[in-house]
Amino acid sequence: MKGAPGFDVIIIGGSYAGLSAAMALGRSLRDVLIIDSGVPCNRQTPHSHNFLTQDGKAPLEISALAKQQVEGYETVKFHTGLAINGTKTANGFEITTASNDTFTGRRLIFATGIKDIMPDIKGFEECWGISVVHCPYCHGYEYRKQKTGILANGEKAYHIASLVSNLTENLTVLTTGKADFTLEQQDKLEKHNIKVIETNIVEIEHKNGQMQHVVFDDNSKVPFDAVYAAIPFVQHSEIPVSLGCELTEHGYIKVDDFQKTTVEGVYACGDNTNMLRSLANAVYKGNLTGAMVNGELTHEQF
């Protein structure tokens, strides 16, 4: 598709934030292209929660309906592919995909999400999003009053423990190494009867992603119903940084209150910009981004 006509806006990432931005732009008759590789990060998650009107639905069901609705706007087009390169041009930006298709747009929106870095623990990846989870607000109610672990250490573990302790009294922190808590934090954990296990984890025994035991390197094992895991991540797309977009100290794309990055004409929204990793937040930020981009284009033309 080299040489294809340019678009007002190219959106890279066609999940919740990207589709929400596209709907706002499509309703303003902007020519929009969504480039998406079709591999959402929550593809294993069976149910989405804490999203008004969609509580309990499968994420793929929500995104399929969202795409169907966005397809109803005639100025929004879709392209299945992986965007791998972006360059600044005289009139905007040029995006190239892995299959060497090239598209041009006056504005860019990155709704590309983040890529979780899985620890070297057998069974972890198979349980991710099912019984190894990241967010008490998204998953905590379903595992209330059940035996729960927190795979983290230090401040992260303490923060998660403070939230999850309201959901279950059977809570254990799994530090996979020497615990790193202040004396005050240790006292609080003990006060709430939160146990700490420092032994390294080698495996999560599970059945179809539903964990049964956490296995340690001393051959001991402990049954758990769920484990919250605070794991590192990287940006799913390297294009924003290659274009000059700054990242925050935590690795998110730096945006202002209007979702503008530090590069003129480039916006970002969704999980790649903040730690509030939820469908509801992605939809909200996508909607805001679409409106801001349309406003900028309108000001430029009117």
DSSP code per residue over 198-259 = -SPEEEEEEETTEEEEEEETTS-EEE-SEEEE---EEES-SHHHHHT--B-TTSPBP--TTS
Angle of the 16-26 helix axis to the 59-70 helix axis, nearest 10: 20
d(CA 260, CA 69): 26
Q: Domain 124-229 is of which CATH architecture?
A: 3-Layer(bba) Sandwich (3.50)
The single-letter DSSP state of residue 277 is: -
Tens of pLDDT along the chain (302 residues)?
444 459 999 999 999 999 999 999 999 999 999 999 987 777 778 888 888 888 888 888 999 999 999 999 999 999 999 999 999 999 999 999 999 999 999 999 999 999 999 999 999 999 999 999 999 998 899 999 999 999 999 999 999 999 999 999 999 999 999 999 999 999 999 999 999 999 999 999 999 999 999 999 999 999 999 999 989 999 999 999 999 999 999 999 999 999 999 999 999 999 999 998 889 999 999 999 999 999 999 999 99
Residues of the chain within CATH 3.50.50.60 domain(s) are 7-116+232-301, 124-229
Instruction: Please name the fold of domain 7-116+232-301.
Output: FAD/NAD(P)-binding domain (3.50.50)
Which bin fits 98, alpha (ψ -120 to 50), beta or left (φ > 0)?
alpha
CA 257 to the chain's CA centroid: 19
Cβ contacts of 150 within 8 Å, gap of 6 or more: 157, 160, 161, 164, 171, 172, 173, 174, 227, 228, 229, 230
Give me the long-range contacts of 55-59 (CB less than 8 A, separation at least 24). 59/279
